[in-house]
């Protein structure tokens, strides 16, 4: 067991190191940011001073070693544009993204599971077929296009909710959030729905498959034979059994929600990490791009590591297979 | 596929009609009305894109043909040059219908090119993994698993962040984001096929390894590969549009559908919906029609779902 966990952690570390090489060299070979940072009428001496200040005059491998040294101390470099620590900048934008991803996850569960339940219980009804068709659309429509349509419908035509920004923030236990004020809630609704659409489709499919499988099981037949009401069978017996896999998968999808939020945040001008990344790419703000990518890689590697370890505890076969390989 | 054809030979025998696998496949495919319509729509889109220079009223990127006087006209307005702009015009005075057809050329080219390259690369890697076995297989599959643990959109985004803008770079980013899906599919199918009797028979006949792999195993891996290929190509087109919309994909000089939608976005809040809605509709039709075809192909080509 310990051996398995250590092996996995070493692998995770290896992945992070490998990605740091790819990301750092990839990002730093493209474009020359210096001309965007000095004023147009700067002379050669000014430009050289700026290059020296930003450390761009050193050979790339030396820049990488410096980057690694800094990274080990939690310093991923300073943003070229803001002059602030890139890591701090990203951490500053992180709560907005987390809040959005979290709201989307809740929406996906609250909307997706009941719809999936219905589609699973009455697979042949017209409404169920409608739900399934909608879920196929949910999978194949590009997120940004749906976002545009949401803005057009709810913000431009109906004028129910604002199209962009984060709105007023409320404060609770020192955490600032849009979820705590009516204005903030009206701002978060559209982006959260947009981000949630793919996951709603996923939740519908998972729940439907689970329900259809569970309804044929002996324990359901037994509950029926005992004379329990259909309502009780579904809400207590069936739901309990299908919720575990559905919630597990949805939880795992949290990482991809944060990844996808790049698109949603850009459309709705939501001030999160995703928008920061896109702005940084466009302005060639390399340290911020590198820092964001490293944080995301770390995030995904951590999620996978945790999942692997939990699975290996729950299912010894996973562990044994790994040793055999 | 071999199983499917022997099955079909048995069931078709009483009818005394010999069907080639292709005829059978064609008949089954066109059974579904939705898939037939989707295929039709997709072919029309491809045809319109290919014929764009001959059927559009203007070349939207020839500055001599575009006049700023036509800027932001609503659908159905008459252009300065006399023709009707059925879909309106964008901020620079380009006829949207023409711009969309030209944009489709770029979007489809990028999508298909990256799909084909990713397919070939993934296929090669998957075959090597399945046939080499041992450490090479473990190493390859670790990389594949690792990559599939990140969403494809995120991988593509990382790649463009590292590579920069441009058609070649986007295609490279999409290939890197998608090859693993093909590799996994090919390896899984090839492993199953390798254990079958016809491979053993071929080996007994003394046929060379490479001939067995390419002439015997590979053709039998094609069915799942085609299904994955259609779905992945649709997602490549939509990914390219997403990246271009975000401003990190194709540059303004290569105006794909995504770039058109991005250009229209700024006008959307002022109610000039058509500049991004119509290109969006074109993208949607393309992606959804490919997905519907792919979905049906999966049903037709999967021997386990055969009646």
- Across A220-243, average pLDDT: 86
Chain B residues near residue A264 by CB distance under 8 angstroms = none
Query: Which residues have C-beta within 8 Å of that of residue B121, sequence separation ≥ 6?
Result: B175, B179, B182
What integer best gives the mean pLDDT of chain A? 81
Decide: A256 and B221 in contact? Cβ < 8 Å.
no
Query: Do A148 and B161 make contact, defined as CB atoms within 8 angstroms?
Result: no
A308 has a pLDDT exceeding 70: yes
Q: What is the mean pLDDT of residues A276-281?
A: 88
B190 touches chain A (CB under 8 A): no
Q: Give the 3-state secondary structure percentages of chain A, helix then strand then coil, rounded to 5.
A: 80, 0, 20
Q: Tell me which residue of B232, B236, B234, B283 sits closest to B257, measured CA to CA.
A: B283
A280 Cα to chain B: minimum distance (Å):
9
Mean pLDDT of all residues in A187-209: 89
* In chain A, % of residues over pLDDT 70: 90
B150 pLDDT band, cuts 50/70/90, is confident
Chain A residues touching residue B267 (CB < 8 angstroms): none
Which tokens go with A29?
A: 């070979």
HEC sequence for B36-91: HHHHHHHHHHHHHHHHHHHHCCCCCCCCCCCCHHHCCCCCCEECCCCCEECCCECC
Give the lowest-confidence range in A277-281, B63-67, B135-139, B233-237: B63-67
Neighbours of A269 (CB within 10 A): 12
Could you give the C-alpha distances from A215 to A112, B130, B227, in angstroms and in order?
Answer: 19, 39, 31
Contact list in A for residue B247 (CB cut-off 8 A) is: 278, 282
pTM, two decimals, is: 0.82
Shortest Cα–Cα distance, A236 to chain B (Å): 33
Q: For residue B24, what pLDDT is reported? A: 80
Show residues of chain B in contact with A155, CB under 8 Å: 269
Query: DSSP letters of A35-87?
Result: HHHS-TT--HHHHHHHHHHHTTTS-HHHHHHHHHHHHHTT---B-TTT-SBHH
Query: Is B246 within 8 Å of A262 when comparing Cβ atoms?
Result: yes
Check residue A139 and give its pLDDT.
Answer: 80
Using CA atoms, how far apart are residues A322 and A317, in angstroms rounded to an integer?
9
Supply the pLDDT for residue A38.
66
Q: How confident is the model at residue B254 (pLDDT cuts 50, 70, 90)?
A: confident
The pLDDT, as a whole number, for residue B130 is 86
The answer, for B278 touching chain A at a CB cutoff of 8 Å, is: no
Cβ pair B261:A140 closer than 8 A: no
Q: List, as ranges, residues 238-257 from B with C-beta within 8 Å of A.
A: 238, 241-242, 245-248
A258 touches chain B (CB under 8 A): no
B76, pLDDT greater than 80:
no
Q: Which of chain B's residues have a Cβ under 8 Å away from the Cβ of A142?
A: 238, 241-242, 283-284, 287
Average pLDDT for chain B: 82
> CB of A244 within 8 Å of any CB in chain B?
no
- Mean pLDDT value across residues A16-21: 82
Across the interface, whether the CB atoms of B150 and A137 are under 8 A apart is answered: no
CA-based nearest distance B102→chain A, Å: 19
Among B30, B78, B96, B35, CA closest to B276? B96
CA A259-A262-A268 angle, to 5 degrees, is 140
CB contact under 8 A, B283 and A142: yes
Candidates B153, B245, B291; nearest CB to A259: B153
Nearest residue to A239 via CA among A264, A220, A260: A220
How many whole angstroms from its chain centre is CA A305? 17
User: For residue B118, what pLDDT is reported?
Assistant: 95
Which residue in A144, A258, A262 has the most chain B C-beta atoms within 10 A of its own C-beta, making it the best mutation to test that interface?
Answer: A144
Residue B57 CB-density burial (10 A; 0-12 exposed, 13-18 middle, 19+ buried): middle
> With an 8 Å Cβ cutoff, is B38 touching chain A?
no
- Looking at domain B45-57+72-305, what is its CATH homologous superfamily? MetI-like (1.10.3720.10)
Test the B interface: residue of A145, A148, A252 with most B CBs within 10 Å:
A145
Mean pLDDT of B224-241: 90
pLDDT at B8 over 50: no
Q: Compute the distance between CA of residue B5 and CA of residue B288 in angstroms, rounded to an integer.
A: 30
- Report the pLDDT value the prediction gives residue A175, as an integer from 0 to 100: 66
* Sign of the Cα pseudo-torsion (A292, A298, A302, A304, in order): positive
pLDDT tens across A211-225, in order?
888 888 888 889 889
- pLDDT of residue A34 exceeding 50: yes
Using the Cβ of A163 and the Cβ atoms of chain B, whether some distance falls under 8 Å is answered with yes
State whether residue B260 sits within 8 Å of chain A by CB: no
For residue A32, what pLDDT band results from cuts at 50, 70 and 90?
A: low
Task: Band the pLDDT of B110: cuts 50, 70, 90.
Answer: very high
DSSP string, B216-240: IIHHHHHHHHHHHHHHHHHHHHHHH
- How does pLDDT run across A150-181, given as a tens digit for each residue? 888 888 778 787 777 777 776 666 666 777 67
- Position B261 pLDDT exceeds 80: yes
- Structural domain spans, chain B: 45-57+72-305
CB within 8 Å: A281 and B295: no
Percent of chain B surpassing pLDDT 90: 21
HSE (CB half, 13 Å, CA atoms) of A323? 11
> pLDDT, tens digit, for every residue of B173-194?
999 999 999 999 999 888 888 8
Could you tell me the sign of the dihedral formed by the alpha carbons of A317, A318, A319, A323, in that order? positive
- Is A263 near chain B, with CB under 8 Å? yes
ipTM of the complex: 0.77
| Chain A contact present for B205, CB below 8 A | no
Q: What are A240-265's pLDDT values in tens digits?
A: 888 777 877 877 788 888 878 888 99
**How many contacts does A have with B, using Cβ atoms within 8 A?**
100
At what angle are helices B167-194 and B152-163 packed, to 10 degrees?
A: 140
pLDDT in tens, A54-68: 777 777 778 888 888
B295 shares contact with chain A (CB less than 8 Å): yes
> What gap in Å lies between CA A156 and CA A140, rounded to an integer?
25
Mark yes or no for CB contact A148/B283 under 8 Å: no
Select from A23, A31, A144 the Cβ nearest to the Cβ of B245: A144
């Amino acid at each position: 067991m310990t051996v398995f966990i250590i092996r996995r952690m070493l692998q995770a570390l290896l992945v992070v190191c490998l990605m740091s090489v790819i990301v750092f060299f990839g990002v730093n070979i493209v474009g020359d940011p210096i001309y965007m940072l000095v004023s147009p009428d700067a002379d050669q001496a000014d430009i050289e001073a700026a290059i020296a200040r930003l450390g761009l005059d050193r050979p790339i491998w030396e820049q990488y070693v410096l980057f690694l040294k800094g990274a080990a101390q939690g310093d991923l470099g300073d943003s070229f544009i803001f002059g602030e620590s890139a890591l701090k900048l990203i951490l500053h934008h992180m709560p907005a993204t987390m809040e959005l991803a979290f709201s989307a996850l809740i929406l996906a569960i609250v909307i997706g599971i009941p719809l999936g339940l219905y589609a699973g219980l009455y697979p042949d009804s017209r409404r169920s077929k409608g739900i399934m068709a909608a879920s196929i659309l949910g999978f194949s429509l590009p997120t940004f296009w749906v976002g545009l349509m949401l803005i057009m419908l709810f913000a431009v035509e109906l004028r129910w909710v604002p199209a962009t920004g984060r709105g007023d923030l409320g404060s609770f236990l020192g955490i600032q959030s849009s979820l705590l004020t009516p204005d903030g809630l009206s701002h978060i609704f559209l982006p959260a729905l947009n981000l949630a659409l793919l996951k709603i489709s996923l939740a519908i499919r998972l729940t439907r498959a689970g329900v259809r499988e569970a309804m044929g099981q002996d324990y359901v037949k037994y509950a029926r034979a005992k004379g329990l009401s259909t309502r009780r069978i579904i809400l207590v017996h069936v739901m309990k059994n299908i919720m575990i896999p559905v919630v597990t998968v949805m939880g795992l999808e949290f990482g991809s929600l944060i990844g996808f939020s790049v698109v949603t945040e850009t459309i709705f001008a939501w001030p999160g990490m995703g928008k920061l990344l896109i702005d940084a790419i466009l302005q060639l703000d390399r340290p911020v791009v590198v820092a964001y990518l490293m944080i995301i890689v770390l995030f995904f590697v951590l999620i996978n590591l945790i999942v692997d370890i939990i699975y290996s505890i729950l299912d010894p076969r996973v562990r044994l297979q790994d040793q055999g390989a | 596929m071999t199983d499917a054809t022997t099955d079909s030979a048995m069931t078709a025998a009483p009818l005394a009609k010999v069907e080639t696998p292709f005829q059978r496949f064609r008949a089954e495919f066109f059974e579904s009305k939705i898939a037939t319509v989707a295929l039709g729509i997709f072919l029309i889109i491809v045809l319109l894109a290919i014929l764009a220079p001959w059927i559009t009223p203007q070349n939207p990127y020839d500055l001599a043909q575009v006049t700023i006087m036509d800027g932001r006209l609503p659908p159905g307005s008459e252009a300065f040059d006399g023709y009707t702009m059925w879909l309106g015009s964008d901020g620079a005075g380009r006829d949207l219908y023409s711009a969309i057809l030209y944009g489709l050329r770029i979007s489809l080219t990028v999508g298909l090119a990256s799909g084909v390259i990713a397919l070939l690369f993934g296929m090669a890697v998957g075959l090597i993994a399945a046939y080499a076995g041992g450490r090479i297989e473990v190493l390859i599959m670790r990389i594949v698993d690792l990559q599939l643990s990140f969403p494809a959109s995120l991988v593509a985004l990382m790649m463009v962040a590292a590579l920069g803008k441009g058609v070649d770079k986007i295609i490279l980013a999409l290939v890197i984001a998608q090859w693993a899906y093909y590799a996994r599919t090919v390896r899984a199918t090839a492993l199953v096929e390798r254990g079958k009797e016809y491979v053993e028979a071929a080996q007994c006949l003394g046929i060379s390894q490479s001939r067995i792999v390419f002439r015997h195993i590979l053709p039998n891996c094609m069915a799942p590969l085609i299904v994955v290929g259609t779905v992945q190509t649709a997602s490549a087109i939509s990914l390219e549009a997403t990246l271009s919309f975000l401003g990190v994909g194709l540059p303004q000089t290569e105006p794909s559908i995504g770039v058109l939608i991005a250009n229209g976005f700024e006008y959307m809040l002022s109610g000039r919906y058509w500049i991004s809605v119509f290109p969006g509709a074109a993208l949607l039709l393309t992606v959804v029609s490919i997905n519907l075809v792919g979905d049906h192909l999966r049903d037709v080509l999967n021997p386990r779902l055969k009646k």
